[in-house]
Chains A and B, each alone.
Chain A
């Protein structure tokens, strides 16, 4: 207790001594951890390169500007590909994520011991693996191109959408569900009338949010061969054509800005 008695007089400290000690120990542990990790991490770092960085940065900036604007028309087809990768991938993910979310939510899962853990495992597996890694795997399986990108985005998005959706499902107002159950409705009818109307706004928001993130991620999927603007980026980097890189980055920037605007508007409108 921060309030204590010492020699018949009430004394106040910011924190009880035990808690203060625990806090100091945690800080110390955190700092030690940082120092340890830093040393391990920078074991093989070539510090000469690090000090050289500003010069490198100046050199690259020099080559990046002015941007190669005549390169722009070549980017339109890959841009269309990128948008498709994001959109189709999100749509496929939604179709799979919705049932998974219902199976994972405590209040709608048919079997809390067997089905729910499986659904949760699917969600973690999907979330843990970045879309770029999914892209790597899929390019190996189905070959390079847009198709690999679509599946990669879909696989990553399932975990994201299902996690947020099942959290929304668990937070619904139970009395509305009780009322529908009390009329003698079947499980599916209870879902249709009692659960779905309550999570619909959240669902719309989550889907558009993920679509926006997917646009960002789709722009770089081409770095591993999965189609879209990333392919052009990879090609330009390989040939050290920095001014082309600038053009590509500008296109990416503009696309992301537009998709963010759309996403914000839709999420604002759906309440």
Chain B
């Protein structure tokens, strides 16, 4: 469970990226973070594992106060927080296996990671994860030889290799085509359900967010302006978050998407429909 209390972030330039954000994410819940550019979504996610230092406020992972940890304690805590990035952030010149195994860096001493002698348990887990995300046959390829969708899957495997208690996901589909985006979102939802993981997903595609998450938090200019179910995103709410706009097209797409996702079983048919629509649009 993740609890954020009154989080503030003010940058040195004077920009106030976060102004008193508070909410709680129970285990197993997938929370979608939406909002316009500059609303503080990325900052919020990075404050949780302190890649960006909060100016004020507290963050709790179960009973551990993340914001009060010393540098070495923070390192240990980061092991339990998996992060997935927009541009995949894989180490491009290392192989896929090495990238996944780098998820265990917090757990193994330097000499082991340097000589690549990871415990057999970690290696088996890596193979299992690669199989689960569907890129096992790419295990020995260099990361920059993979397509965008494949790289993001490796990114997911790396995060899961950490045995995390929380997933922080920063715009996982921004660099992907519509079909791959849905596949990745589906994968994320499945693995979170399998492991009962709470997750915060920073996402700019509102419809994608609505389709795949359990709860939506809308940020605007560093403040929470909406916190509720995906279905409750009415045009008025969307205006409150993003500003005045014609939301009817969005509503229509949402209806189509939820119909595809809930449609009995046939994922391939659903994706095919999306592809065709994207081609016509």
Q: Are A186 and B75 in contact (CB under 8 A)?
A: yes
Contact A189/B110 with A175-B89, A184-B77 known, Cβ cut-off 8 Å: yes
CB distance from B152 to the nearest CB of A (A): 12
Chain B residues lying within 8 Å of A198, measured Cβ to Cβ, are: 91-93
Identify which of residues 90-105 in chain B touch chain A, using a CB-to-CB cut-off of 8 Å. 90-94, 98, 102-105
Of all chain A residues, the one with the shortest Cβ separation from B104 is: A183
Bound-state Cα–Cα, A197 to B99, Å:
11
CB distance from B129 to the nearest CB of A (A): 14
Contact A182/B113 with A176-B89, A194-B91, A197-B93 known, Cβ cut-off 8 Å: no
Q: Number of B residues whose C-beta is below 8 Å from A?
A: 33
Assess whether A185 is interfacial by the CB under 8 Å rule: yes
Contact of A184 among B79, B91, B92 (CB under 8 A): B79
Q: Are B162 and A184 in contact (CB under 8 A)?
A: yes
Chain A residues lying within 8 Å of B155, measured Cβ to Cβ, are: 179
CB distance from A72 to the nearest CB of B (A): 45
**Interface-lining segment among B80-88, B176-184, B194-202:** B80-88
Assess whether A181 is interfacial by the CB under 8 Å rule: yes
Of all chain B residues, the one with the shortest Cβ separation from A197 is: B93
Contact of B105 among A185, A197, A201 (CB under 8 A): A185
Q: Are B103 and A186 in contact (CB under 8 A)?
A: no
Bound-state Cα–Cα, A174 to B91, Å:
10
Q: Are A175 and B85 in contact (CB under 8 A)?
A: yes
A177-197 vs B, CB cutoff 8 Å, 1 = contact: the mask equals 011111111101100111001
Contact of A193 among B75, B94, B107 (CB under 8 A): B94
Chain B residues lying within 8 Å of A184, measured Cβ to Cβ, are: 75-80, 105-107, 162
Q: Are B110 and A186 in contact (CB under 8 A)?
A: yes
Assess whether B150 is interfacial by the CB under 8 Å rule: no
Chain A residues lying within 8 Å of B51, measured Cβ to Cβ, are: 178, 181-182
Assess whether B158 is interfacial by the CB under 8 Å rule: yes
Chain B residues lying within 8 Å of A178, measured Cβ to Cβ, are: 51, 85, 89
Assess whether A200 is interfacial by the CB under 8 Å rule: yes
Of all chain A residues, the one with the shortest Cβ separation from B46 is: A178
Chain A residues lying within 8 Å of B75, measured Cβ to Cβ, are: 184-186
Of all chain B residues, the one with the shortest Cβ separation from A179 is: B89
Q: Which 8 residue pairs spanning A and B have beta carbons closest together? A: A184-B106, A185-B105, A184-B78, A179-B89, A184-B79, A182-B83, A197-B93, A175-B89
Which residues of B does A touch, CB under 8 Å? 49, 51, 75-83, 85, 87, 89-94, 98, 102-107, 110, 113-114, 155, 158, 162, 168
For the A-B complex with A173-B92, A184-B162, A194-B91 known, give 8 more contacts whose Cβ atoms are closer than 8 Å: A175-B89, A179-B155, A182-B49, A182-B78, A183-B162, A193-B98, A197-B92, A197-B93
Which residues of A does B touch, CB under 8 Å? 173, 175-176, 178-186, 188-189, 192-194, 197-198, 200-201
